[in-house]
Structure 1
Amino acid sequence: MATGKRRATYFNNIELETLMHAYGEYLHVFRKKSNTAAAAKERETAWEKIASRVNAKKADARKTGGGPAPPPLTVAEELALSHNTGRPVAEGIPGGSSSSECTPQDTNCDGAVCLVEEPPQATTDIVTVSRQYSKDFTKG
């Protein structure tokens, strides 16, 4: 039986802490001396509540990326970051995402407030007119 393999842990540190806190809250239920069906049901309900708390922590860890840490930066990446020290950082698009419909908005550019308006909508008339102009120019 001495294979040298270690058993995987059942709980990580956060889950174990959650388990112990929840167990402490229900300790009075587990220490009851009663052996009635009602007491057994109460203990079972307490364990289910504790399990749901621990499972919620597991789900949180998966949802927030709870996997291994990213690898450390390479020398080239650290050098690139050092070249960008003190430069502005883009933190997203104010008022929505890039796939949102264009809407006029106020933006700040060099201390002045500028109104950004929607781009003009293309129509088929423009295409027809440009075809007409190209025919006129190619007639010679």
Structure 2
Amino acid sequence: MATRAAYFSPSEAQILMEAYEEVKDIIKKKGNTATVIKQREKAWQSIADRLNALNMNGPKRTWQQVKIKYKNILQNAVKKNTHRQGTGGGSPKADLTPAEDMALELNKGRPVLEGIPGGKETSIGSSQDATRFIQVSGSTVFLLEPPAQAPDDADPDPDAIQWENQPGNISSQAIRKLYGNHLRRQIELADIDIQYKKKKMENLALESEIKKRTIRKLDLEIKKLERELQEDDTAQNKNLVYSRKVK
């Protein structure tokens, strides 16, 4: 069971976001091959290393804790921003910490729907689009396939959808884009699984060939021993015949 990370100070959160900005292209890189996943882990680890280096006497952060903290910062920032826009009041940066403000700047136009282990639930409004096409189970968000025809109020241009300008509302076009990303991820995972099984079959075939060659080698050694025994018997018989003739 994972242990709860010690409290991140505001200065740690700010340093985390500054370090994240330097490696965000690696973390946001598309694909789920073993190489890409390893690159992401190394990027998160570099952020953890910076925090640990600047806070020698404080708690040591793992890359997993850093990743969860980043997502919590972003989630809280989106929640505050959505609430402020929904109520129609407050300064653009009211109640946002420097780290949260930076998180919003780095994620402009990107929907934040990914489940966060150990995080708090972020409200995404009460629109019928959200309840029809999104299901949440624990910390995982499931995207359901939208209908063939978009609602009348849907924006016809997917590229025109800006998440930060539509607080509390998810259009059918946005759902279709998210669902498309979800399907592409499933395809990538399926391809990784196929490659893994293919490699496993190749290893099994190699092991089978090695065993066949070992059996053939043992069979040749047995035949060689049989010939040697036969030759010894023949030699002994010849010696016996010769000794009788001499007598």
Q: Same fold (TM over 0.5)?
A: no
TM-score range, shorter chain: 0.3 to 0.5
**Higher normalized helix content (fraction of residues):** 2
* TM-score, length basis structure 2: 0.21
Structure with the larger RCO, 1 or 2 (CA within 8 Å, 6+ apart): 2
